[in-house]
Amino acid sequence: MVIAAGGLLAACQTIVPKGPVSSSQQRPTTRPAADRPIGVEAGIPRDAERNRVALLVPLSGGNAGVGTSIANATMLALMDTQNQRVRITNYDTATGAAAAAQRAIADGAQLILGPLLADDVRAVAPIAQAAKVPVISFSNDTGVAGNGTFLMGYAPTQSISRVVDFAKSRGVTNFAGLVPNGLYGERASTAFLRAVEGAGGQVVSLQTYARTAGGVTGAATRLAAKAPYDAVLIADSGATAAQAAGLVKRGAGASTRVLGTELWNSESGLAGKPSLAGAWYAAVSDTLYRQYAAKYRARFGAGPYRLSSIGYDSVLLTVRIARDWRPGTAFPVGRLRDGDGFSGIDGAFRFGRDSIAERALEVKEIRGGTTTVVSPAPSGFGG
């Protein structure tokens, strides 16, 4: 691993998850001014001693809660690493992502962290590419990656492949699926069919539904008519899966295993839903996240959004590369493709040729009102 989360221990479309905090509970932390600004000029003082990094997230509007949580996480990461070589400035994408990117580049940013939403990434990417400034986005829409834009969001294709492989190793042969209409569902469907084929299983039935009242329950009823099958993937939120799981088990048998995606990891109270007892889903590890969340709560007086760990890890990545990144020079983008990968709150990850973060995922089972790890995440990438 190139990065260890030692600082913490020592001291498709983007789906924004609900979290324990709201924008009214948290406000973005103001970055400290440069220690020795050069001259007096409009805008942000120039800083010849630190690398300039821009954080583009929503700090107002409907997604301000998660954006602020990410902003606070980046500050916490700088504090934990005691870094003096990186200066991060926040820019609000809610008032216009393209304008935020233009301001950041005009202020001298050599690296952009964010944005969060896929549409915002599409607006920012050509501006950053023209300025030769790389983007490390927090979106989970794999369609925005490439041409200088890297994706750190949790890609559904990876969690689906991981849980399908695990299910096959536990004797599951016949699979079925429930997927929503839309871009996320289309990509989930493709990933599911490929994963099952690669594992040597077969898909008995795949039903789609609209995200409207009664949509998933109607699809679950149609799916029940195609029984028997050993497991069914419900590629949606845990709350939606809980609605359908009871119908699925009544139609196909109580022993039918329910499979979920990475979306489940962002939901609190999921383990308390009786219909999901015995369900499996793959996601990043929560081992270090629990320590991070306690530290965040002590610092900011409220719990973080689960997604904020991506912001923390993006700073760990930046700080590691900044050791050999001379202030005022272009960000060494080639370092992002280190084959051994990196490590952070969410475990090991590395960027492939497609500029998408490949993650080491664990498989969890909902059991007895809690979640239990039944297949740990690998600590790194062999070979």
Q: Is 363 helix (H, G, I), strand (E, B) or coil?
A: strand
Q: What pLDDT does 379 receive? A: 85
Q: What pLDDT does 45 receive? A: 56
| DSSP codes joined into one string, 254-276 | TTPEEEE-GGGGG-TTGGG-GGG
The answer to whether the beta carbons of residues 249 and 256 sit under 8 Å apart is yes
Q: What pLDDT does 49 receive? A: 77
Peptide bond into 274 cis (omega under 30): no
Mark 241-271 as b/e (b = at least 16 C-beta within 10 Å): bbbbbbbbbebbeeebbbbbbbbbbbbeebb
Q: What pLDDT does 44 receive? A: 55
Report the half-sphere exposure of 331 (CA within 13 A, side-chain side): 31
Q: What pLDDT does 202 receive? A: 97
Q: What pLDDT does 30 receive? A: 45
Which parts of the chain register pLDDT below 70? 1-47, 382-383
Residue (of 153, 151, 166, 158) closest to 191 by Cα position: 158
Q: What pLDDT does 46 receive? A: 60
Which residues lie below 8 Å from residue 316, measured CB to CB, with a gap of 6+? 3, 5, 7, 77, 81, 342, 343, 344, 345
Q: What pLDDT does 20 receive? A: 53
Neighbours of 101 (CB within 10 A): 28
Q: What pLDDT does 83 receive? A: 86
Residue 191 to residue 78: CA distance in whole angstroms: 36
